[in-house]
Copies of this chain bind each other. A is one copy, B any other.
Amino acid sequence: MSKVKLDEIDHQILDMLIDNTRTPFTDIAKKLLISAGTVHVRVKKMEEAGIIKGSSLTIDYVKLGYSFIAYVGVFLEKTHQTKFVLERLNEIPNVTVAHITTGKFNIFCKIRAKDTTHAKNIIFKIDDIEGISRTETMISLEESINDKKRLMHKIFNEL
């Protein structure tokens, strides 16, 4: 849980790699007026510190036929069932994100489906999980802002 100090160079390296993992270190070096070796050393340090956890492709799920996104708020019968319910949710591949939350819902999750029929089946599956008293679905009509575009320095430099 320790905070790690990064300097401006590190932020800019992260920025470019967040935008495209395969940005050659030589390109980064050229842009930042340092050597590729230095980029390598700094990236390695950030990996060792656990700041860089890994890398992943950004997939266009819509093109693959998965155009349906919904958020499902889950109400539990009893709070101590949280762990059990999360395990069941984890078994459904279409539940792509889940958070334990305060406020209105006990658990809050995101599902990705092909269409409304498919989504209905997934929601029924969720409703059937033991310990869930009821759910509330919010269908996404449009994903307007998306993690990807958020460059690090925008977050870092703001107060």
Show the binding face of A for B, using Cβ within 8 Å.
Answer: 1-4, 6, 14, 17-22, 49-60, 62-67, 69, 71, 86, 89-90, 93-105, 107-109, 112, 136-148, 150, 152, 154-156, 158
Contact = CB atoms under 8 A, between A and B. Distances in A.
A153 to B, nearest CB: 9
Nearest to A47: B57
B104 A136 contact: yes
A2 B59 CA distance: 14
A49 to B, nearest CB: 7
Contacts of A2: 63
A146 to B, nearest CB: 6
A69 B110 CA distance: 15
Contact of A59 (B52, B103, B112): B52
